[in-house]
Amino acid sequence: MKPVHIILIIILCLFLTTPVYAATSQEQIRNEKREAQYNDSNNWLTLKGSEGGVRFVTKDGKESILIDNFGGIYFNGDVFVNNKKLNDVLEKTVNKDTMQIFMIFMISIFLIFFLIMLTIVLKVRKQLTLLRKQSQFQEKSNM
């Protein structure tokens, strides 16, 4: 499963277990379904964001999840999947990817350096060969 799918599943679970905010007012509705106009026939809880989107706030007033109207999802905390902190899993993956990119970069630099040096050596060798031929020709002509 991709991390995006996991995050969407977590958000869905949070929607089902978190108190719902009314879209028409700032008052909180707890343990109830939304107004009749927002209910659907599938027994799903439907959330309609206000002008900015939907936000989930902890008891002490801190924003834990924000969902804007453009599809952006913002987490202010740790996300756990299968008792593993998702931040740690992603950090290991990012570090591994960063190391691979660094190695590819270094190999590319080495190959470019090698090609430049090879070109210089071949040009110098060609010039030396020409100088030897010229010196041999001059020696023959002087004789």
Is there a domain that residue 21 lies in? yes
User: What is the longest distance spanned by two Cα atoms in the chain?
Assistant: 114
Residue 136: the pLDDT is 87
pLDDT for 19 beyond 60: no
CA 142 to chain centre: 74
Number of domains in the chain: 1
- What's the domain range around 51? 3-77
How far is 116 from 70, CA to CA, in rounded Å?
Answer: 49
Q: For the chain, what percent of residues have pLDDT higher than 70?
A: 62
Is there a domain that residue 57 lies in? yes
Is there a domain that residue 129 lies in? no
CA 125 to chain centre: 49
Residue 27: the pLDDT is 44
Average pLDDT, whole number, for the chain? 74
Choose between 37 and 59: higher pLDDT: 59
Closest CA to 10 of 105, 70, 78: 78
Is there a domain that residue 46 lies in? yes
pLDDT for 93 beyond 80: no
Is there a domain that residue 95 lies in? no
How far is 30 from 18, CA to CA, in rounded Å?
Answer: 8
Is there a domain that residue 22 lies in? yes
**Whether 52 contacts 77, CB under 8 Å:** no
Choose between 121 and 39: higher pLDDT: 121
Is there a domain that residue 67 lies in? yes
Is there a domain that residue 93 lies in? no
Q: Which tokens go with 34?
A: 């939304």
Residue 8: the pLDDT is 64
How far is 81 from 3, CA to CA, in rounded Å?
Answer: 10
pTM above 0.75, yes or no: no
Closest CA to 16 of 43, 41, 38: 43
Task: Give 47-109 as a DSSP string.
Answer: ----SSEEEEE-TTS-EEEEEETTS-EEESS--EETTEEHHHHHHHHHHHHHHHHHHHHHHHH
pLDDT digits (tens, 9 = 90+) for 95-142: 777 778 888 888 999 999 999 999 999 999 999 999 999 888 888 887
